[in-house]
Homo-oligomer: A and B are copies of this chain.
Amino acid sequence: MERVDNLAHERETAQFDVEAMKIVWAGSKHELDVSDRMARLVASDPVFHKDNRTMLARKELFKTTLKKAAHAWKRINELHLTEEEASKMRFFIDEPAYTDLHWGMFVPAIKGQGTEEQQQKWLPLAYKMQIIGCYAQTELGHGSNVQGLETTATFDPNTDEFIIHSPTLTSSKWWPGGLGKVSTHAVVYARLITEGKDYGIHGFIVQLRSLDDHSPLPGITVGDIGNKFGSGAYNTMDNGVLQFDHVRIPRDQLLMRLSQVTREGKYVQSDVPRQLLYSTMVYVRQTIVADASRALSRAACIATRYSAVRRQFGSQDGGPESAVINYKTQQNRLFPLIASAYAFRFVGEWLKSLYTDVTQRLQANDFSTLAEAHACTAGLKSLTTSFTADGIEECRKLCGGHGYLSSSGLPELFAVYIPACTYEGDNIVLLLQVARFLMKTVSQLTTGKKPVGTTAYMGNIEHLMQCRCTVNTADDWLNPSAIQEAFEARAVRMAVNCAQNVSKAPSQEEGFLNLSADLVEAAIAHCQLIVVTKFIEKVQQDIMGNGVKEQLQILCNIYALNLLHKHLGDFLVTGSITPKQGALVSEQLRSLYSKLRPNVVTLVDAFNYTDHYLGSVLGRYDGNVYPALYEQAWKDPLNESAVPEGYAEYIRPVLKQQLRLARL
């Protein structure tokens, strides 16, 4: 294919230093270097090619995943990669695999819930991958409600063992990634029963398969749960089903950091505070927010580049048509997605520091910020993943018909991303948790208890309940404090409003259930405020590089004002702004889009994604999309012959009116 840069003219108009922006996006020069090296390493290795992924049948697809995972592990060892490098490498391989669960759930579960002794026994095996593990919590009948799980682990004092059992069909473990075909071990969540009493859900290390020949151990039924959304996507993962028929494991495979069962069968709580478990949750959700910014930026990168290449209408005097990125409707749909990718990146960065903070406090037995941190991470997980899922699909639509081709990369990105809205907490269930926390915070305001962290603004309730937005001109909306105050007023007023309505019900619980749709909206308002605040704070920091800060300022304003416009009803109904001020938002947005326009292609270049990682003919760095689309098409297996298989049996008899005779 010709070597050209069809986007050179777009790159020339950028008003900032793209290399400096790359560092801001990556987090640091070091992180950029690691990312860059790992991305290139993966891209240059033929084993990691993924062009034909969507064309493979499930078995073949799965086998290539096993191959990639083994090859990655080999390279990680050969090159003595650090943990940071190895995890980046897995990221750029860009394919769900059992290793995600092994490293991301199995190992952390043992670290978090195992005793020192258990960690010493199991972790070295896991680190060397002498055992491969997964995380088996969800069952056919229960996901969100973990307390409702039905698998039992009954202690048998005669043999000093737990008997793991699936008493019903719905108690079958269902969904755990890596379980279906690969894992030798699992952390299994089951109801601990001893001395006839049910002590609720606990984690157990259970071996599932023989280490000799990989066959399921006696009493264990295990398999894959079948095809999922998309053609490649999550089908590279062996999400599994698992049933136990009275499987016995030694007593010391109960994860015992928080509670133990004695040789005699006594259930004993340890003196380790249960709250310690929360830090893992904060950690995992922080990674999900980081993933959201990656997925959204990736989709936005594809849609932006293609929108700058794609020309449609608007030719004047026989000249070239207009690139569709020049249409205001396209900008109005696309630019907020770019801004949101940056917003999520920065709130994710901040969440990482929150995790450190929470961990340190926990170690010092300070639980004062825990509930707030928990609510905040739950809310941000929900907000960013829901928005990203919709944003990816919007990017696909922004690419017109060609976005529907697998070779655009967007269908598979959508299919592989959307489970993030469901796992680690269904997004609505999470928002309801945030709402509960907000209601509690509001109710405590009168008792003088100071709200902390991301709810601190609520301490300012008296001002926020009656303040009036002072915006007079469209440019006044460029003032971060005006934005901030409007978002704070809206959030606090929605929360207070809900609290008042809830309190009218016969009981608090009844009120909460009845008003839960409104409560979810209040929770969203609160979470959007957090993202807006963190973006504003980021832009107020020192930022290196020519023009970088100016671009981030524009993105920050686009992010906030687009939200304001989308949720105008909230702002107006709570009187946080006036209709006239609302109209000024649209005006300012138009002007911000024009300012951003010359920079957009370079702003997505700053994500520093390789063509391999993007996996999209439409998102190519060089914008040379048409020859690439054309080339890719001919690789489809249907094109192996000009006349398709089935012609003789199913097409010719139709054309020749010989169907009556044919046996189909």
Contacts and interface: CB of A to CB of B under 8 A. Distances in A.
A547 interface: no
Contact of A73 (B172, B407, B647, B654): B654
Contact of A313 (B148, B327, B630): B148
B426 A47 contact: no
A567 B573 CA distance: 12
A531 interface: no
A446 interface: no
**How many of these chains are in the complex?**
2
Contact of A231 (B132, B231, B426, B514): B231
Contacts of A516: 327-329, 332
A81 interface: no
Closest 5 CB pairs of A and B: A568-B569, A229-B411, A66-B650, A332-B517, A57-B57
Interface in A627-664: 627, 629-630, 632-640, 642-647, 649-655, 657, 659-660, 662, 664
A647 B214 contact: yes
A128 interface: yes
Given A70-B664, A77-B659, A141-B311, 12 more contacts: A54-B227, A57-B637, A63-B646, A67-B650, A69-B654, A224-B636, A225-B629, A230-B230, A327-B516, A400-B426, A404-B419, A574-B579
Contacts of A422: 397, 400-401, 403-404
A415 interface: yes
Interface in A110-159: 128-132, 138, 140-145, 148
A158 to B, nearest CB: 29
A216 interface: yes
Contact of A315 (B57, B148, B644): B148
A531 to B, nearest CB: 20
Contact of A659 (B56, B74, B403, B655): B74
Interface in A372-421: 393, 397, 400-401, 403-407, 411, 415, 418-419, 421
A180 interface: yes
Interface in A44-92: 47, 54-59, 62-63, 66-67, 69-71, 73-74, 77-78
B227 A407 contact: yes
Given A55-B58, A406-B226, A579-B575, A643 B312 contact: no
9 contacts: A143-B312, A143-B401, A181-B644, A222-B642, A230-B415, A238-B638, A569-B569, A572-B582, A573-B583
Contact of A662 (B63, B70, B148): B70
A545 B86 CA distance: 66
A137 to B, nearest CB: 11
A409 to B, nearest CB: 11
A321 interface: yes
Q: How large is the interface on A (under 10, 10 to 19, 20 to 34, 35 or more residues)?
A: 35 or more
A515 interface: yes
A454 B400 CA distance: 29
Contacts of A401: 138, 143, 175, 419, 422-423
B404 A649 contact: no
A10 interface: no
B58 A636 contact: yes
Interface in A488-529: 513-518, 520
Nearest to A643: B214
A579 B234 CA distance: 45
Given A224-B636, A393-B393, A66 B646 contact: yes
Given A182-B651, A568-B569, A411 B230 contact: yes
Contact of A655 (B57, B131, B426, B573): B131
Contacts of A636: 58, 223-227
Contacts of A313: 144-145, 148
A67 B228 CA distance: 25
A428 interface: yes
A321 to B, nearest CB: 6
A586 B128 CA distance: 57
B148 A321 contact: yes
A170 interface: yes
A633 B224 contact: yes
B148 A312 contact: yes
B664 A67 contact: yes
Contacts of A393: 393, 418
A595 interface: no
Given A70-B650, A662-B70, A170 B626 contact: yes
Nearest to A312: B145
A382 B83 CA distance: 49
